[in-house]
Amino acid sequence: MMPSPITAILLISCPDRHGIVAALSSFITRQNGNIVALDQYVDPVDGVFFARMEWEVEGFAIPTENFAREFNALAEPFDITWSLHRSDQRLRMGLMFSRQLHCLYDILARYESGEWPVDIAVAVSNHNDHRGLVERFGIPFHHLPVTAEDKARTEPKQIAVMQQAGVDFIVLARYMQILSPAFIQAFPMRIINIHHSFLPAFAGARPYHAAHNRGVKIIGATAHYATESLDEGPIIEQDVNRVSHRQGVDDLIRIGRDLEKIVLSRAIYGHLHHRILVYKNRTVVFN
């Protein structure tokens, strides 16, 4: 396989206006950018325009560091909110988890096989169980225990560890503690959580017990950006699996583990490839 060319990725949202696509695509073309992907979506209720444009860096007339200056002449009249990314800039992931292994292992396996353009910059757990596993991958590990009493003192340490490691986003790989609003606000729309139910059904604790008790015939898992409202952040990805009366709670937990790790990995993939925009507590995911 040939290596993919390095690309720039522009994520955009703005009020929908005549000519916005023409203005954007003409801007890139005039600067000699070869557009390799253009996805757009207009919310018909609110009249909001969303787009993801990707073009080859080679040959593009504007150096990345000058892009803002050049692009703002276009962005301001259209009232565009935007962010620019490059496919050769690997994001730095912070990893948080508790005792369960399945999401952690799945992430590490993808990491080792080079599936994702990511560097795992640091790992934090409230338990020390998996220090050895994580350190084998060369990932700095911090054991920061959390109890009901000292949570207020631990969170600033967690935040500091993440910031010092320069993480771009945080993945909660079955981290079983609720984060405070202060933690969330330190990484807005940059914390991906996996919840072990088909949200909004069975938010909160012990969702498989609740699902079994309700007698559902399908269980699910949901990856979402963490917000200050527990399990109510913008949903990135969901998937489900059929179950029957024969499956007890233990079976739901076992089957659910596979859902959780796959759904979480798809959300991470979308985030790493800059395919996700958030609007009104919903996501636009360009596939």
Site for its own copies in 23-62 (CB under 8 A): 25-26, 28-30, 32, 34-42, 44-45
The Cα 98–Cα 186 span in angstroms is 21
The Cα 91–Cα 8 span in angstroms is 14
The residue from 92, 102, 131, 206 that contacts its own copies (CB under 8 A) is: 102
The residue from 11, 124, 192, 285 that contacts its own copies (CB under 8 A) is: 285
The residue from 142, 238, 252, 273 that contacts its own copies (CB under 8 A) is: 238
The single residue listed with the structure tokens 């040939």 is 2
In this structure, which amino acid lies at residue 49? Answer: F
Non-local (6+) Cβ contacts of 130 within 8 A are 97, 99, 101, 104, 141
The Cα 96–Cα 219 span in angstroms is 24
Shorter beta-carbon distance to its own copies: residue 69 or 242: 242
Q: What is the maximum span of the chain, computed from C-alpha positions, in angstroms?
A: 63
Could you tell me which stretch among 60-68, 73-81, 162-170, 241-249 binds its own copies (CB under 8 A)?
Answer: 241-249
Q: How far is the CB of 119 from its own copies (least distance, A)?
A: 19
Question: Using the rule CB under 8 A, is 240 a contact of its own copies?
Answer: yes
Answer yes or no: are the C-beta atoms of 277 and 50 closer than 8 Å: yes
In this structure, which amino acid lies at residue 134? Answer: V
Q: Is 79 a catalytic residue?
A: no
Residues that bind its own copies in the complex, under the rule CB under 8 A = 1, 18-19, 21-22, 25-26, 28-30, 32, 34-42, 44-45, 101-102, 105-106, 108-109, 112-113, 115, 136, 198-202, 213-218, 220, 234-240, 242, 244-246, 248, 250, 254, 258, 262, 265, 281-285, 287
